[in-house]
Chains A and B, each alone.
Chain A
Amino acid sequence: MVTKTKKKSENVSDYTTTQLTALVILRVVIGWHFLYEGIVKVLNPYWSSAGFLLEAKGIFKGLATSIVANPGALSFVDFVNKWGLILIGLGLIAGCLTRVASISGMVILFLYYAFHPSFIGYTYTTPVEGSYLIVDKNLIELFGLFVLTLFPTGKIIGLDRLIFTKKRPS
């Protein structure tokens, strides 16, 4: 019984209302960003990750080059990237499979960062809208998702509440 009382409920949290609100807002804005990034890529028939990959630096440079050199691999990466972004975005906003969405989002952001790290000495010709020293917005968004993974909200505010909560007995 002691362990049972310590175990946190699936749909009732220890968060205060303000904490919960902040976490849900963070989840929704990151989801919004993912969803839109995915949709613009789907809407643009000429979008391709080739340009991004060709500019890759660091340990994944070789892998990026191989992907671009292989049209099949490139279209696979393009497909996974844009639809992945959309699904993650939908998941985060709706709070649906939130844990999977958060972790997948972290993986995708990690890949973006790993292919284009903002390390000292690395310069890119891709236009960027800010100034970065090692830490860039991909990394910040990644840690935002890390926070959301550790402080989940989907089962409190989100479809996961309906998905993962057992129906009450009659």
Chain B
Amino acid sequence: MCLILSACAAISPGKTIERRDLPEAKPGPRELASIQLTEQGQMLLEKDKIDEAISVLERAVSVYAYNGKNYYYLAEAWLRKGNLKQAREWNRLAKMYLAGDQEWSQRVFDQRERIRTRTR
């Protein structure tokens, strides 16, 4: 029995690779450029210039699509514009790209709840 069990332990069905975390590398040029634009977009949102913010954040997405904060702020902008469908879609993407960041994951979750509340 012990021999069988140890054999079971020795034989694995193969490597298991779960979801890949993005490596903690220095930001590349596209990411740096996107971060600049994200900051601009965030400032415009704070000034309530929603359409301008969306334009800048769209540009940020086009430059570097992995920055989850862009999606978060886009969801925020569409929420303020009252387009809950778009807000939901962008929030979905924000959730995916910010899953590795606890603080931002919470913010994404809170945002999703706000969208849900507005939908009812």
| Same complex | no
Q: Which residues of B contact A (CB under 8 A)?
A: none
